[in-house]
Amino acid sequence: MPAPTKKGSVPPKNMYQGVPPPPYGNPQTAKGNQQQQQQQQQPPPPAPPATGGNPPPHDGKHAHHQHAPPPPQHVDPSREKAKGDTDSYYLPKYHPPAPAPGVEIDEDMLEDHVSFLRTVAAFHHYRSQSVAAWEMRKANFLKLQSQHKNVLCIDLDAMFKLYDECICRNSAFFESVCEASLELFMSYWPDGTTIARADIPPPTALDMDKVFSTLRQFVRDWSAEGLPERECVYKPVLDFFEKMYPTRDARSAVKILIPGAGLCRLSVELAYRGFFAQANEFSYHMLIAGHYIQNHCFESKQHVIYPYCDNTCNLVNRLDQFAEVAIPDLCAAEALDDLRDQQLEFGELSMVAGDFTEVYAKEHQQRSWNAVATVFFIDTAHNIIEYLQIIYDLLVPGGYWVNCGPLLYHFADSAEDMSIELSLGELISVAQKIGFAVCCPPSFIDTTYTNNQRSMKQLVYRCAFFVLQRPLDDAAPAVAAATA
């Protein structure tokens, strides 16, 4: 995402200028894409986002949510249309314009236009799906026999009124995200689209699952409640870089790549400390939501969301369901102005949209990064050896790979997808054969992921934190030679 701006403030230099829209279309991944699809202030003039590469047929960030409570049962939007409920129909009112007369749209891009707009439709459809679950749950309570109703210690009318209000607040927030998505679409594809609004397919169950998990991702990355999780996995990464580069003035020349950046809190934190930070993400849910939180929030706690209102399991107290969370806890625009008041520079910050293996395997990327920071990312690989080789090739001699995360290989149970699952020990051995030297051996950090700290269910990951280095002498064998 571009560096955050506030009314009247100037973004850092070289932010997304003159970069073409992402070549997302890829016939080879179309099948995989089908299988895996699951009161705001006026914004300042947007800076177009840096882009590149094709998104993969999965959303690595959200795969870690497989142990989270399931979202409400999927509601087919076509049924809502059939009922004539146009207010809850899945299509949002924000739609990119048609191209000007004489302007031709690359047909290879149309599939990606549809994917983007279907994701926006999924955010808009949040209210319909949540209300359907609300109605089902209320109906279930009303089915109780009178003797069972009499022993309930619940004011059903008050409870469901509060539940509905929480859904409305979340829906209003997502509508702001949808409205800002039009700006992001036009920065990718400034000529507009030939896709008609009525041609956007309804969001899938997986699309909706990602919408509900995005609420929790906002909590993790951009709220005070998410601080414990960030302290566990972001702080060791930030501490390492601050220790290795103690002089702030020199950090602007230290280029750090953050693949699988999600909502970009780690990349913003690195830029806040003066580093050159580039985030890479391929999930449209993350790209659209991350664009909003960085470029359309102008003060801390601008929004209040209710990330747990749709979950009725493992509650200790009923009010836990309706816990409110203010976001963002750190307004990037305010942080930028605070640094300027201290005569300090905000580091260069950028976002590249696309598949890590496609964008960063290119020759011009090799030996161009001082560090790669991966948090809850490397287990998104189909072939983790490919990830290791790409990371090694990206680094300049003496560059660092800093990792923190589990090895929950996302395709391990798929019969249709390739999945290479190495143990941690095997991973380190392969990395050394590729050429890495172990700078900091693995240590373990217990942490949750998008966790509801009030819930009776607590899932803990044992994450491996380690630092590997590309040797200064660069006398490392290529992986092809090592495996020949």
- 373 - beta bridge partners? 402
Cα 344 vs. chain centroid, distance in angstroms?
A: 28
The whole-angstrom separation of Cα 390 and Cα 395 is 9
Residues 174-212 pLDDT 10s: 999 999 999 999 999 999 999 999 999 999 999 999 999
Which position has the token pair 């702001």? 176
Whether residue 239 is contained in a domain is answered as: yes
Whether residue 364 is contained in a domain is answered as: yes
Residue 92 pLDDT class (50, 70, 90 cuts):
confident
Q: pLDDT at residue 290 above 60?
A: yes
Q: Kindly state the helix (H) or strand (E) to which residue 269 belongs, with its residue range.
A: helix 265-272
Both structure tokens of 229: 């999780």
Instruction: Report in angstroms the alpha-carbon separations of 310 from 129, 171, 288.
Output: 10, 12, 22
H helices of 284-412, in order, are 284-295, 332-341, 356-359, 384-394
Torsion sign across C-alpha atoms 242, 248, 252, 253: negative
Taking residues 137-143, report their average pLDDT: 97
Give residue 474's pLDDT. 72
Q: pLDDT at residue 404 above 70?
A: yes
> Which comes out higher in pLDDT, residue 15 or 396?
396
Tell me which of 75-89, 238-252, 363-377, 429-443 is least confident.
75-89
Which position has the token pair 């506030």? 6
Amino acid code (one letter) for 434: I
Of 369, 388, 278, nearest to 51 by C-alpha is 278
Of 95, 160, 168, nearest to 126 by C-alpha is 168
On whether the CB atoms of residues 345 and 10 are closer than 8 A, the answer is no
Which positions ≥6 away from 29 have C-beta within 8 Å? 54, 55, 56, 57
Query: Which SS3 state, helix, strand or coil, does residue 8 take?
Result: coil
Whether residue 477 is contained in a domain is answered as: no
Taking residues 89-106, report their average pLDDT: 89
Instruction: Report in angstroms the alpha-carbon separations of 100 from 21, 182, 194, 222, 280.
Output: 18, 17, 10, 39, 31
Whether residue 169 is contained in a domain is answered as: no
Q: pLDDT at residue 161 above 60?
A: yes
Residue 259 pLDDT class (50, 70, 90 cuts):
very high
Q: Percent of the chain beyond pLDDT 70?
A: 80
User: What one-character-per-residue DSSP string does 86-142 give?
Assistant: GGG-S--S--PPPPPTTPPPPGGGHHHHHHHHHHHHHHHTHHHHHHHHHHHHHHHHH
Residue 10 pLDDT class (50, 70, 90 cuts):
very low
Whether residue 292 is contained in a domain is answered as: yes
Whether residue 137 is contained in a domain is answered as: no
Q: pLDDT at residue 44 above 50?
A: no
For the chain, the residue count is 484
Query: Which SS3 state, helix, strand or coil, does residue 308 take?
Result: coil
Residue 369 structural domain: 206-470
Count of the separate structural domains present in the chain: 1
On whether the CB atoms of residues 324 and 306 are closer than 8 A, the answer is yes
Whether the link from the prior residue into 45 is cis, omega within 30° of 0, is no
Angle at 332 between CA 328 and CA 338, to 5 degrees: 120
Taking residues 458-472, report their average pLDDT: 97
- 462 - beta bridge partners? 446
CATH number of the domain that 393 lies in? 3.40.50.150
Whether residue 482 is contained in a domain is answered as: no
Cα 24 vs. chain centroid, distance in angstroms?
A: 17
The DSSP code for 281 is: E
On whether the CB atoms of residues 291 and 1 are closer than 8 A, the answer is yes
